[in-house]
Amino acid sequence: MGQKIFTSADKIFALSWKDPIGIMIYGNAELMGLPWETIVKEYRRTAVKESLPTVDAHAREFLSFITNEKLFSQSLQDKQYTELVSGYYSMMRRQIRKLVEETLKETKQMSESKIASIVRKVINEHCLLWEEQSPLESLPKGFVSSVKKKHQEAIRGSIAEVFEKMPLSQNTQKKLVELAVRISSKWPPQQITPPTIAGLVIAGFGHSELFPMLRAFEVLTVIDGVAIHRRVDSKCIDIGADMGAAVVRLCTRRCCLDVHGRGCPILPSNDRNTDPRSCDESAWRNPG
């Protein structure tokens, strides 16, 4: 019991000794530099005190646990958020430089006003992408304004460091600050691939459940004591009594979790590549 099972890059662990509950991790193997395996073990050791009625309750407890400052100090959370924002700015800078080089190759000349026009174009396109995203439902009231107030100085420092001498008007700098705040409060647009997303699939039985159930999430990071995540089990199926098992269609490799003798097969979906080796760990990916 509790032995981890490897299927390609996915990992499966027992989440609780009190109930037949398992968790599968896919995508990024770490959260803010700490292996998910270590996080799960620490949760099982320190946080699981009693049986819970539902898989949903287990999922909520675990998501709450990963915001614990004993795992991720506030200074580490601040550092990781700044690096996440700087990484996104760096992706934009690469885009700008590529467009400048392409334009220069075509026209053989480049004015400062033309460079400024390209800078505005790229930044405006990214701002529009994020504006179209809905705010995360899981965020507490006042989170967005709190992030902006607390991190504005660090954000402006990242702008100066990344964009250096690129022509940025006050209005453009303001847009970059707003963009950084949106990164903390919205899920990344489909065209953007963050380097740090991990998928969590929590499945099994709470003590009041007769049939296996499932909750699935994607987690980006922890900012100011809040797990930046979204629920994705709309891509999954909670199976009723006629099936006798929870068949889950999610973006994962083929594997089978058997907790306390009750099978919970997880079947593959071709919706998306989940091999973390295909994910660029060093930088956000440019929109296609």
Written as one string, the DSSP assignment of 57-70 is HHHHHHHHHTT-TT
Does any domain span residue 284? no
> Residue 236: which domain range?
5-71+193-278
- So what's the pLDDT on residue 10? 55
- So what's the pLDDT on residue 120? 95
Does any domain span residue 33? yes
Query: What is the number of structural domains in the chain?
Result: 2
Using the structure block, give the residue that is written with the tokens 């899920």. 187
Written as one string, the DSSP assignment of 177-237 is HHHHHHHHHBPPPTT-B-S--EEEEEEE--TT-SS-EEEEEEEEEEETTEEEEEE-GGGS-
> Would you give per-residue pLDDT tens digits along the chain (288 residues)?
444 433 334 588 889 888 888 899 988 999 999 999 999 999 999 988 899 999 999 999 999 999 999 999 999 999 999 999 999 999 999 999 999 999 988 887 878 889 999 999 999 999 999 999 999 999 999 999 999 999 999 999 999 999 998 999 999 999 999 999 999 999 999 888 787 899 999 988 899 998 888 899 999 999 999 999 999 876 554 433 332 343 333 323 333 333 333 333 333 333 333 333 333 334 566 655
- So what's the pLDDT on residue 281? 38
Task: From 185, 218, 251, give the residue that closes a domain.
Answer: 185
Query: Quick one: tokens of 120?
Result: 């505005």
Task: From 131, 152, 185, give the residue that closes a domain.
Answer: 185
- So what's the pLDDT on residue 15? 92
- So what's the pLDDT on residue 279? 34
Task: From 166, 185, 204, give the residue that closes a domain.
Answer: 185
Query: Quick one: tokens of 97?
Result: 């430089």
- Those residues whose C-beta lies under 8 Å from the C-beta of residue 156, and which sit 6 or more positions away, are 173, 177
User: What distance in Å separates the CA atoms of residue 71 and residue 64, rounded to the nearest whole number?
Assistant: 12
From the list 117, 262, 276, 88, the residue with the least C-alpha distance to 199 is: 276
- So what's the pLDDT on residue 228? 96
Shared domain check, 200 and 66: yes
